[in-house]
Chain A
Amino acid sequence: MALDSKIPNGPVADKWTNYKDHINLVNPANKRNLDIIVVGTGLAGGSAAATLAELGYNVKAFCFQDSPRRAHSIAAQGGINAAKNYKGDGDSVYRLFYDTVKGGDYRAREANVYRLAEVSANIIDQCVAQGVPLAREYGGLLDNRSFGGTLVSRTFYAQGQTGQQLLLGAYSAMNRQIGRGKVKMYNRHEMLDLVIVDGKARGIIARNLITGEIERHSAHAVVIGSGGYGNVFFLSTNAMGSNATAAWKIHKKGAFFANPCYTQIHPTCIPVSGDHQSKLTLMSESLRNDGRIWVPAKLEDAKAIREGKKKATDLSESERDYFLERRYPAFGNLVPRDVASRAAKERCDAGFGVNKTGEAVYLDFAAAIKRYGTEEAYVKGHDANDAALVTKLGTAIVKSKYGNLFQMYLKIVDEDPYVTPMMIYPAVHYTMGGTWVDYNLMTTIPGCFSIGESNFSDHGANRLGASALMQGLADGYFVLPYTIGDYLAPDIKMGEISTDLPEFVEAEKNVKDQIERFINNKGTHSVDYFHKKLGKIMWDKVGMARNAKGLAEAIEEIAALREEFYKDVKVPGSANEFNQELEKATRVADFLELGELFAKDALHRNESCGGHFREEYQTEEGEALRDDENFAYVAAWEYKGKPSDAVLHKEALNYENIKLVQRSYK
């Protein structure tokens, strides 16, 4: 099957407008006869469910949490990009488009990214109209901050809780539709399979997580907005429940899975503290606006710090190595995430790490506190040479910008980041890969759409900070509502789809069989035992730096672990009750397949790009070395029974507007 990305013709700047002008529309009366299932209620799923219901479709929305508001989009901290150019610093749709493609290391589809940049400004208008309290300046206008990989200030924010505020905005829009009966909300439900009738997605099988009941739900189209698969690493910044099951189930039913190896390792997370660790906590990228990243310049100082003989504050300026500022003078601490992560790993591998495990670098706010404090002292007419006063004033400013993050750090690490530098280390954060979709956001299964982090489309091999929120909301508010109408237009006379069709019966039986198998397995190890083992293989061999040997080993090890899992996993309790271990088991079963495909994809991609770093392919300075001649394509994998048999399909990436060059942030 050849991949057709269905990119409209014409100049990139006109594609979306032309496309919208020529699609099929469904009239309002007919929309009432069409049902749409939305799985996942984060920024993408939530905004899509609300907008589709506003348009008149009957929406059924599913989330595994007890409320749509808890989707993990809520944890996004720093901000959302939009090409508003409110600062007058030269921003434009083209520049946002360009930065995103470049930031993605030239592995994203131009047309999609341009559309994303184009609708970005609408998102801000929409959110403000919804009552999202974005940060403002004293004049009453919206404020911006800077994020990595850009030279303009285009990031809108709400303290360190931008994701929360935007999600609550989408949630409020959903609530309005739930109140009107246009969205039927299924909380504490998990999609466990997709139902395909006559080659088209026509429903899902879901488990009511409270009663354990297996339910059939039909619709004319199914939208997957279930997020990314970072939890394949066990330890990540994702929520404990974040899972790839919905995305993986549609993959097994025929949706191609694209670029699984593109996974973002976020540079600023709180380091692992011990074996008990259940998840990692992100410290927003926005901290790199003001924080300076460093390690000791001398190995003996690093050793002394690890042994507790010296403290960070004991080292003078000349004894510190601000390695990002040293290596990338133009972007400094604001290089893209993949670059910052690798640089930190490089220093730690070389022995300069600063915590007990040697896997941490400093993120220091002393300079920012001094800078802000001095400025404030002038503004308020105090003595700018009074060091104690400057520190006090500066601390207050830093607190107003990042207070919640600093408090979070204090609670976890038990050290005050206003006084001593934070310790940070990279951690798995976001997955750029995901289900392959065409320009319409439809997967290779007709009628099955994938939006937000669960698709692969906009970020290439690396996502820039504050772009995930932008993409999720763009897909849900402004893109899918058009494209899905075009797909549904021929279905207006179909009427409701029966859930008694044999396809539903069969899918339900498969789900029940899998659940019975887990319950009756009576093995010896808990689900977490296997999940942690999988995570360790992934982090050690498919993590920040990969090589052919390690990847080949990982593929074998994961396959073996999967076999062991099915033989030996122990799931207590029964199928017909609230059973959290069972929930985990069905999710980990999918991670055990996805992990293998992930490694396979990483092994096949003989280049380094963005979040995918192969040790064999780097420049002399240790930067990622792309191979545009052989790998400027999207790797879309077709499921064929097991991950090792997956078949590769290539979608060539044609760059008509941007010239491919080696990424440089120097």
Chain B
Amino acid sequence: MKLTLKIWRQKNAQDKGGIVDYPIDGIEPDMSFLEMLDVLNEQLINKGDEPVAFDHDCREGICGMCSLFINGEAHGPDRGVTTCQLHMRMFKDGDTIFIEPFRAKAFPVIKDLVVDRSSFERIQHAGGFISVNTSGNTIDANTIPINKHDADKSFDAAACIGCGACVATCKNSSAMLFVSAKVSQYALLPQGKVEAVDRVLNMVHQMDAEGFGNCTNTGACEVECPKGISLENIARMNREYLAASLKG
């Protein structure tokens, strides 16, 4: 396959940056998208140019490190995948592919396609946990039976990989899907109910402080989420938040 890549290059956070065109040849359909970028980088290095910086790690769709806004979509045109799981068979010979970093005020660019998602970290610090110390004396795991339906839903929410595709794809750069996934995971479990009020208030407060936009329920996040996190979680967080506001 022969392709034209239009890649965002930006030397560092201060640099203005811009799109640079890279023609590339010899790409096979079985390659993953990141392997295609590996090929490009190898060529750039051999030519004496600087390779394109991009985040990636596990390359099996679970660590959430890879990002990229490909042809106008977070993680590219395929569904239910991260960029590392996107394969070149999704593209045609001769295609032009735009590759940009995830964009949001809360995700400033570090270099090229690498962005700083520490805003997500700070939201988690605000309340993404259950306050239980390690002791070895916690109650037996089977003491509190948990309805399978709730446990499964909690798991579905907990499957979030924190990649930021929801923010990147949202026209408002809203982080509601990410935050609601964590809030929901705990809200659905008896262990999480104890701190539910403070958790949702604190996490939403931090989310707002980070400069994410507001949710307008376009549903784009759910479609682009590599893990299919449901909008139901956002509704649940809205509910939790309203209830907590009335109490708190």
Contact = CB atoms under 8 A, between A and B. Distances in A.
Given A141-B145, A278-B59, A67 B162 contact: yes
A128 B158 contact: no
A135 B87 contact: no
A414 interface: yes
A62 interface: no
A72 B134 contact: no
Contact of B57 (A65, A128, A131, A172): A65
A572 B112 CA distance: 15
Of B12, B64, B126, B141, chain A has the most CB atoms within 10 Å of the CB of B141
A66 B31 CA distance: 25
Contact of B61 (A187, A408, A578): A408
Interface residues on B, range: 35 or more
A664 interface: no
A287 B247 CA distance: 47
A137 interface: yes
A161 B117 CA distance: 23
A175 B125 contact: yes
B45 A173 contact: no
Interface stretch (B147-155, B215-223, B235-243): B147-155
Given A241-B57, A477-B134, A74 B63 contact: yes
Residue of A128, A131, A187, A481 with most partner-chain B CB within 10 A: A131
A240 interface: yes
B141 A124 contact: yes
A173 B133 CA distance: 8
A101 interface: no
B129 A175 contact: yes
A131 B126 CA distance: 16
Nearest to B49: A572
B141 A142 contact: yes
A38 B180 CA distance: 30
A482 B133 CA distance: 15
Contacts of B48: 572
A66 B136 contact: no
Nearest to B142: A141
B85 A412 contact: yes
B34 to A, nearest CB: 7
B231 interface: no
Main secondary structure of the interface of B (DSSP, over half): loop
A131 B130 contact: yes
Nearest to A279: B59
Interface string B20-59: 0000000010111011001101100110111101011111
Interface band, chain A: 35 or more
Contact of A161 (B11, B56, B85, B159): B159
A127 B125 CA distance: 18
Given A273-B30, A278-B35, A477-B134, A72 B81 contact: no
A178 B124 CA distance: 10
Given A72-B58, A274-B30, A277-B35, A65 B65 contact: yes
B80 A136 contact: no
Nearest to B202: A179
Contact of B185 (A131, A161, A411): A131
B110 A139 contact: no
Interface in A167-181: 168, 171-173, 175-176, 178-179
A75 B134 contact: no
Contacts, number: 223
A178 B85 CA distance: 32
Contact of B155 (A51, A165, A273, A573): A165
B34 A133 contact: no
A172 B128 contact: yes
Nearest to A414: B89
A319 interface: no
B89 A74 contact: no
Contacts of A273: 30
A499 interface: no
Given A124-B141, A161-B159, A411-B81, A131 B60 contact: no
B139 interface: yes
Interface stretch (B1-9, B91-99, B168-176, B186-194): B186-194
B53 A240 contact: no
B120 A67 contact: yes
Contact of B131 (A67, A74, A176, A178): A176
B109 to A, nearest CB: 10
A159 B155 contact: yes
A28 interface: no
A131 B186 contact: yes
Interface string A553-583: 0000000000000000010110001101100
B151 A135 contact: yes
A648 B133 CA distance: 41
A64 to B, nearest CB: 9
A125 B141 contact: yes
A50 interface: yes
B106 interface: no
A133 B31 contact: no
B196 to A, nearest CB: 11
Nearest to A159: B155
A60 interface: no
Interface in A6-60: 47, 50-51, 54
Given A75-B63, A131-B130, A412 B124 contact: no
Given A175-B128, A276-B35, A69 B139 contact: no
A142 B89 CA distance: 41
Interface string A129-167: 111111111111110000000000000001101001100
A187 B62 contact: no
Given A172-B128, A179-B126, A67 B148 contact: no
A172 B64 contact: no
Interface in A518-541: 526, 528-529
A115 interface: no
Contacts of A420: none
Interface centre among A75, A173, A276, A573 (most CB of B within 10 A): A276
A66 B59 contact: no
Contacts of B159: 159, 161, 164
A240 B134 contact: no
Nearest to A573: B50
Interface in A231-288: 237, 239-241, 273-274, 276-279, 281-282
A65 B136 CA distance: 30
Most B CB within 10 A of own CB, among A133, A185, A282, A577: A133
A369 interface: no
Contact of A138 (B125, B135, B148): B148
B38 A276 contact: yes
Contacts of A210: 110, 116
Contact of A67 (B32, B114, B121): B121
B129 A172 contact: yes
A515 to B, nearest CB: 17
Contact of A70 (B34, B64, B111): B64
Interface of B: 11-12, 28, 30-32, 34-35, 38-39, 41-42, 45-46, 48-51, 53, 55-65, 78, 80-81, 85-87, 89, 110-111, 114, 116-118, 120-121, 124-136, 138-142, 145-148, 151-152, 154-155, 158-159, 161-162, 185-186, 189, 191-192
11 contacts: A67-B121, A72-B57, A74-B58, A125-B139, A130-B191, A133-B189, A179-B125, A239-B58, A240-B56, A277-B35, A414-B89
Given A158-B158, A276-B38, 12 more contacts: A70-B57, A84-B141, A122-B138, A133-B189, A140-B151, A175-B125, A210-B110, A240-B57, A278-B59, A414-B30, A414-B87, A526-B45
